[in-house]
Amino acid sequence: MGSLGVYLSMKIVFFSAQPYDKTFFARFNQFDHDLVFLDIQLNEQTAELAAGAQAVCVFVNDKVSAAVVQKLSALGISIIALRCAGFNNIDLEAAKSAGIRVCRVPAYSPEAVAEHAVAMLLTLNRKTHKAYNRVREQNFSLQGLIGFNLHGKTVGVIGTGNIGKAFCKIMLGFGCKVVAFDLIANKDLEAEGVVYQSLIEVLKADIISLHCPLNEQTKHLINADTIAYMKHGVVLINTSRGGLVHTKEAIKALKSGKIGALGIDVYEQEEKLFFRNLSEDIIQDDDIQRLMSFPNVLITAHQAFFTEEAMEQIATTTLNNIQLLSENAKLNPQAALLA
């Protein structure tokens, strides 16, 4: 706050902004900042568009590389605000060297993402996507729509942070046996019945859901070696980051039947595809085309976070983070990547 108790207005340039970002951020702009919404991604070529701003606000597929950080720094940008939880797309070392502060929204609505993971699992298992189309064509046959009871099945959860924890609780409610792998076991979850095991043991579950961040240790966590441990016909759900799964190996495993169903809300090469209408284009990415051709693959375009509650939380937390950083005030330690 300024010395007279008045908030100092800042210019904040939003990259990769969608119409719904504009709606929610404008609605919750309590500090009356000058919000500029650009629909293009932040990269070396577009960084110049932040000229005149004090802060930039970025999303999952904006590439905040060292070169981009340098350009932003030269323009006088002092804050990079991620309006998401994951931060694998930003070079934090470069931001630190440039003296730029970086914040994120650590937990805007873990339930939103966890519920979407469950929606994907239920769709793939009970084939409601096919049933919907069939019935619209007056095809009331059940042939090929058989699923299995989730009750009694073993669900393996990799990463039991905010989202993984919410997912575990839902699956416990379904009557599943929940086993988990994380670097740190969560005592509350253990008390509720979640059993922590080694990664190899968790990979043997009937259903596997990924909820760990993408980093050097987890890149291609799902690869030929780890797929080999899985049950034949496993259901794999990834709502975390595309880079966790080696796409070509997943395709091989789908072709052999090792992976019985795959639900992905995230995709390794998604930055060239997601959040846009490409219905008139010729898609050059053969892997996504192959994935789209499987009847047992469900792809959603990074929408797991997309609920009213989450969007409100993203907008209010992001604007609050920027405000606190601009006042040199204390930020929630989980939100402050570089404060």
Q: State the angle between helix axes of 19-27 and 308-326 in degrees (0 to 180), rounded to the nearest 10.
A: 60
Does residue 302 come out as left (phi exceeding 0), alpha (psi in the -120 to 50 range) or beta?
left
Q: Point out which span in 45-53, 106-114, 283-291, 312-320 binds ligand NAD (CB under 6 A).
A: 106-114
Q: How far apart, in whole angstroms, are the C-alpha atoms of residue 310 and residue 61?
A: 18
Vertex 332, ends 329 and 333: CA angle to 5°? Answer: 105
Would residue 129 show up in a list of annotated catalytic residues for this protein?
A: no
Q: How far apart, in whole angstroms, are the C-alpha atoms of residue 146 and residue 158?
A: 27
Q: What is the per-residue binding string for ligand NAD in 257-276, x denoting contact by CB under 6 A?
A: --------xx----------
Does residue 104 come out as left (phi exceeding 0), alpha (psi in the -120 to 50 range) or beta?
beta
Q: Which residues contact 22 (CB under 8 A, 6 or more apart)?
A: 35, 37
**Which one of 47, 61, 302, 323 is in contact with ligand NAD (CB under 6 A)?**
302
Where in 82-101 is the site for ligand NAD (CB under 6 A)?
A: 85-86
Distances, alpha carbon 206 to alpha carbons 203, 220, 298, in Å:
9, 20, 17
Where in 111-170 is the site for ligand NAD (CB under 6 A)?
A: 113, 158-164
Number of chain positions touching ligand NAD (CB under 6 A): 30
| Least Cβ distance, residue 114 to ligand NAD (angstroms) | 9
Would residue 302 show up in a list of annotated catalytic residues for this protein?
A: yes
Q: Which residues contact 51 (CB under 8 A, 6 or more apart)?
A: 75
Return the residue nearest ligand NAD (CB atom): 161
Contact 77, 42 (CB under 8 A): no
Exposed, middle or buried: residue 219 (CB in 10 Å: 0-12, 13-18, 19+)?
middle
| Least Cβ distance, residue 136 to ligand NAD (angstroms) | 28
State the catalytic residue, choosing from 33, 83, 116, 270: 270
| Least Cβ distance, residue 307 to ligand NAD (angstroms) | 10
Where in 160-219 is the site for ligand NAD (CB under 6 A)?
A: 160-164, 181-184, 211-214, 217-218
| Least Cβ distance, residue 141 to ligand NAD (angstroms) | 34
Would residue 104 show up in a list of annotated catalytic residues for this protein?
A: no
| Least Cβ distance, residue 166 to ligand NAD (angstroms) | 8
CB of 111 or CB of 131, closer to ligand NAD: 111
CB of 98 or CB of 105, closer to ligand NAD: 105
What backbone phi and psi angles, to 5 degrees, belong to 321?
-55, -50
> What does the binding site for ligand NAD look like in residue numbers (CB under 6 A)?
85-86, 107, 110, 113, 158-164, 181-184, 211-214, 217-218, 239-241, 265-266, 302, 304-305
Catalytic center residues:
241, 270, 302
